Each structure stands twice: as C-alpha cells, then as structure tokens.
Structure 1
Amino acid sequence: MSSIKILADSTCDLTKELIEAYDISILPLMISLGANSLKDGVEITPDEIYQWSNANGETPKTAAPTIGDAVDFMKPFVEKEMDLIFFGISEAMSATCNVLRLAAEELGYKQLYVVDSKNLSTGIGLQILRAAELATKGYSTEEILTDNHRINEKVRSSFVVDTLTFLYRGGRCSGITALLANTLKLKPEIVVINGKMEVAKKYRGNQKSVIMKYVKEKEKELMDADTSRVFITHSGCPEDVIKDVKDYLHNLQIFKEVIVTRAGGVISSHCGPNTLGILYISN
C-alpha cells in the first residue's frame, strides 16, 4: 500500500512550523511585480509587495504555477509511488488545481488526488491539517477524501479589510466603491461563499475597534465550531491587536488551539495590510 503525501499551494498561509510539523510540501504561486515574476513566499515577501504596490500605485498580478514547476514539484513523490493529495486555492479563483492535473497527465501519474478547497488562506490550511492528521493515524486516501467531502463546505473563512485600495487595484471592486468606502472609513467584512469572495457586513471606525467588533460578533457561530483549532490570519496587523483577538478567543474556552498566521504574498496582494480574519470549521 502506497504512503500518502499531503501537498498544497502557497495560498494556504500555514506557518513554517506547521508545514514542517505536518510534513506538508508547498508549491508557490507566482506574483508579478511589473516585468518580474517571483515565487510566493520564496522570492518575495508581503512587506516587499506593499512597498512596490504603494510606490507604483498598482497591485501585483498573481498567477498559478507553471506546469513545469508543478511537474518538478511532484516528481520526487511520483518516484516513490506515493498517493498525492493536493489541496489548492478555490478553482473559482485560480487555475492552480488544474495545473496540477495537467502536470500529473504529463507525468502519466494516476495517484494524484486534487481537492478543490473552495477556499483561500487558512480556510485551506484547516483542511490540510485535518487531512495530515488522518494520514498520520493510518487513514486511507479514500477515507481522507471522504472526510474532506463531508467538511469542505463547513469551513468558515472571513476577514475584515482596512482599505479597499488593494482590492480596487487588483480589479476586485470599482474605483467609486473604494473611494466611498475609504472616505467614509468603511471596513468591509469579506466572506468566502461557494469558493468566491463576497462582501458581508460593513463596519465603520478605526481598524482596531472594527476588528474586535467583528470577532465578538462571531461568538455565537464559534460556539458551534469544531473545537480542534481556530486560525487568526492577518496581513500585517499591530501586535496589540493580534494579542487582543487571541486573548478573546482563548477566553471563550472553545478551541484546543488558537493559531496565529501571517498571510502570504498572494492573499496580501489582494487584501492589503491590516487585514485580519477568523477561520474555523463549523459543526
């Protein structure tokens, strides 16, 4: 029986420590700063993206990995004849999942199983860690995929953005919407529904107070969450804000783990700095 290898793309926003602890291999997406195409998390950092974006008045373009990169990424595991379970960013947002399928075709490899996370950031990460834990416990590939099918649509991902400037630059909202929101100091909550980003609530005020209001309004939903873990994922928020959110979630005494991660280059490119989200699996 083949061993199982969990693979993912760089939009999963897991920390280096989690990636190493769960033995996950990450395929970076591409980020283009003008003519320079760089690998997310390998050749470019979010802070460098913000600097470039503010200096040039535009948001970097993001793209799926090349088929060549995907082939090279898979080869070591193909040679070991492992079952490969790949968790990719929502297919409604990116061609990454399909690139992996095409790479497997090029390699003539039948043991690749592509999971459309229908999500982004640690909404993917939650699914990855669950699958990795099951693999460690000796579950089969089929059992892991069945479990994911059961919980895939129960993953809850949302975040509050500080400014719509980056979403506007990336073509995710109109200039008028961004101008009005920024002028009125509106901070929209973005939620992932059916693999796509949608605007839910709109908050007003400074980002610190908005974030705490957003988190507290999640309490009822959090009480009905899977207790394994909850993610606080941010794109460069002040430490005191992150600490307040973490303390609040700890004090609810619901989750075994409250994990803080920083969003990678792709997510940061679209959301901009001072974005923070709470991500978990609902029961």
Structure 2
Amino acid sequence: MDKIKIVTDSTADLPKEVVEKYNIDVLRLLVNFGQETYTDGLDINLKQLLNKMENSNIFPTTTQFNPQKFVQCYKKYLSEGYKILSIHLSSKMSGTYQSACIAKSMLQTDDIVVIDSQNVTSGLGLLVMKACRLREEGLSIKEIEKEILNTIPHVKSVLAFETLDNLVKGGRLSKTAGIIGNILGIKPILTVEDGEMKVKNKVRGSKKAVRLIVDTLEKLKTNGKEPIVLLHVENKDILEILRNKLDENNNYFIECEVGCVVGVHAGPRACGVFFIEDY
C-alpha cells in the first residue's frame, strides 16, 4: 500500500480538527498590506484582517508560493518514503498550482501528483477531505487521483455575498458582474464554476438567499460521504437561518470560517455552502 502524504494550501479553509485528524500539510499563503506581509492564519486572523481592511485605505493583496517553497516541502516527504498528493486552488485564481507543477518537474519524480482543484475555499477543502478518506480506505495514489479528477465537476457551491466590491478589487470578478452587488437590498448569489467565481442569481433579502441555497441542496442532492460545508464570514443573519434549515433536514454538515486569503476577496458578511453532489 502506498504511503501517501496529502498537501494543500491555506485557501482550503479546513477546520483545525480535520487537518490534525488526517495529518494534512497546509502550506500557508501570504497577505500583503503595503509593505507589511502576514502569513495566513498565523500572523493574522480573519477578525484582525477585516478590521484592518475597514480602517485602511490600502486594499491587501495575496501572494502565492514560489516553486522553491514546494520543492522544500516535497523533498522532506520524499526523503521519508512518501508519495505526495498535492491539491491546490484553481489555476484560474492563482499561480499556486503552476508553482507546484514546476517544483515537481524540478525534482523529476513520478512520486508527486499535483491536482488543480478548479475550486477554492471549502470546494478545495472537500476534495482534500475526500482524498484523505480514500487514502484511509487503502487506495493507491493513482486511484485517488482518478477519483478526485472525476469528482471535481461535481463540487457545487451556492454563496450569498453582502457586496461584490472586494471580488472586483481583487480581480476575481469583472466590474460589470460586480455592479449587481451595489443595488440596495440585493444579495448577489455566486458559485464557483469551471474554476472561476460566477454570479448565479440575485435575490432581495437574507430569507430569499437562504431559500435559494436550501432549494439548490434539495435539487442536486449530496453524496452523503463528505459533509456539506457551511461557510461564513461574520454573517450571523444567514448563518443562523441556514444552520437551522440544515438541522431540520438532517443534513450532514460542518461549519467553517474562511481564512485570510479568501477573506480578502470575500469581504465581510458572506455565507453559503459547498458540497459534492451525488453522481
């Protein structure tokens, strides 16, 4: 049986208990405020980030790892006899995946598998959790790779945003699409599709946003093996209603708060779900 190490980046927004349970190596990306640089989740937390953004004229940027960082990480595990499964945020959102691919080519080994999740935050996190479960079931690294690649198109998301300003400022959404988020009382509903953030719908008010999210879950159905991830950025209004709805429907779910890199682009008061549909 393959001895497999699973590596991801901090945009997976995995709960600490999941990281510890499966011994996942999470490479933490960087957040830059002008000349100041912070390590995601170590030097700065989400509350500090949002407070800093509210009180600063500088819009923060995020930084991917260079290939050498991946080389250092991979070398360590290869020397310990591991094969490495490295799953990262969408290549359309960051150069992190490309850096990992360059590192693999520099090491000239077939014992590293690098996967473009075509997703971000809990969409990436769900794929990482599934890879861990498959590893526990005794699948080889190639078998896990095949399963994850087959799963990628079935990772679904429905996300309600208070505003789309940060997604536009961070280059994750076009200015034209971002106009919707500035209409008073309108909740933009987004999804991650083909590796990019896309506007799915728009509704008026929190209750209608929750209804749309729940309707999507009921229509598509979940696979039942991985949890629904209830993701939030300090949005108690939608979070509480959505949590109660998931409980009422006996859904298997966990709650996650976004990390700082994702928080830069999400901004305050975002909430929604990621899940793997039944297929």
TM-score w.r.t. length of structure 1: 0.90
Look up the SS of the partner of 1:91 in the other structure: coil
Q: Which moves more between the two structures, 212-221 or 45-54?
A: 212-221
1:132-143 equivalences under 5 Å are 132-143=132-143
What's the secondary structure of 2:55's corresponding residue?
A: helix
Residue 194 (structure 1) shift: 0.7
Pairing partner for 1:217 from 215, 218, 221? 215
Task: Please state if 1:227 is matched with 2:224.
Answer: yes
Separation in 1, partners of 2:217, 2:145 = 30
Q: Compared with structure 1, are the counterparts of its residues 191 and 37 closer, same or farther at alpha carbon in structure 2 (3 Å cutoff)?
A: same
Q: What are the Cα deviations for residues 173-228 of structure 1, in whole angstroms up to 9, with x where unaligned?
A: 566865663342322111111111111101223xx434423323324324x22112
- Whether 2:207 is the aligned partner of 1:242: answer no
**Paired residues of 1:78 and 1:109 also in contact (CA < 8 A):** no
Q: Distance in 1 between matches of 2:216 and 2:177?
A: 26
Q: CA deviation at 1:154?
A: 0.5
The one of 243, 260, 267 aligned to 2:262: 267
Cα deviation, residue 2, structure 1: 4.1
Deviates more, 1:68-77 or 1:147-156: 68-77
Distance 1:50 1:139, change over 3 A: same
Change (3 A) 1:24 1:180: closer
Aligned mates of 1:56, 1:187 — CA distance in 2: 25
- TM-score, scaled to structure 2: 0.91
After superposition, the Cα gap between the structure-2 partners of 1:212 and 1:200, relative to the gap in structure 1 and judged at 3 Å, is same
Structure 1 residue ranges without an equivalent (≥5): none
RMSD value over aligned CA atoms?
A: 2.1
- One-letter amino acid of the counterpart of residue 250, structure 1: D
CA contact (8 A) 1:32 1:62 kept: yes
- SS of the equivalent of 2:65 reads coil
What count of residue pairs does the alignment treat as equivalent?
277
C-alpha contact 1:59 1:270 (8 A) present in aligned 2: no
**Distance in 1 (alpha carbons) for counterparts of 2:217 and 2:277:** 12
**What displacement does 1:120 show?**
0.7
One-letter code of the match for 2:101? R
Aligned to 2:101: 101
